[in-house]
Amino acid sequence: MSARIHWAAFERDDELLRATQAVRDKGYRIIDAFTPFAVHGLDRAMGLRASRLTWVCFFCGLFGLVFMTWFQYWSSAVDWPINVGGKPWNSWPAFVPVAFEGTILFAGLGVVAAMLIRCGLIPGRAPRLPAERVTDDRFVLVVASAGAGRPPDELANLLREFGAVEVHEELEHRAQLESRDPSGPEPSSAPAEASRPEEAGDPVAQGEEGRS
């Protein structure tokens, strides 16, 4: 299935915010927004749900608390109990510092790992930037208008009304929408040029040249 993809570049973050809200109000599906820095309010303008990383942080921290508390009890009272000054083996107040540190450790590592996996930030992955200057001074909004049943220039004109300095349209398969690499070379639809017989050392061609 093919989709019409528009991406527009803006010079200011407030223009991006207004354009994002207007495009969403018109019923277009916003694919993503690329900015050189975090733009306050962009998530609400795009209609994104609240982040669920807080739940990941909570459960990872809870796991760290339970695991480190159990591990200290098991090591000091079950596996290798040692009588230290007549103190009880399961001295719970002594477990608090390590349990607290374990909670922070597991919560921090779990949130970072979940964010990297969810965002697809894995080593060796090619960058997917619609415009090179998006890492410098451009704010880019990517919108899909497939199946809208509207005039083809409506979305482009709407984006220009809010200050877009560049508006480009692409037609591509939906399956390639999330996997394409805009920085890479465009695929060519022309067949590869066949090698000439004389370049390949074809004896028949060379014989014909000799007779001519």
Q: Are 16 and 35 in contact (CB under 8 A)?
A: yes
pLDDT in tens, 78-112: 888 887 777 787 888 889 999 999 999 999 999 99
CA–CA gap between residue 154 and residue 158 (Å, rounded) = 6
CA–CA gap between residue 87 and residue 67 (Å, rounded) = 23
In a domain, 207, yes or no: no
In a domain, 65, yes or no: yes
In a domain, 45, yes or no: yes
pLDDT value of position 106: 97
Tally of domains in the chain: 1
In a domain, 212, yes or no: no
In a domain, 210, yes or no: no
In a domain, 38, yes or no: yes
* Containing structural domain, residue 111: 1-183
In a domain, 189, yes or no: no
CA–CA gap between residue 21 and residue 39 (Å, rounded) = 14
In a domain, 191, yes or no: no
pLDDT value of position 58: 96
Phi, psi of 211 (to 5 degrees): -75, -30
CB atoms within 10 A of CB 36: 14
End-to-end CA distance of the chain: 54
pLDDT value of position 149: 64
pLDDT in tens, 114-147: 999 888 887 777 767 677 777 788 899 988 875 5
Of 12 and 208, more confident: 12
The predicted model scores a pTM of 0.58
pLDDT value of position 207: 47
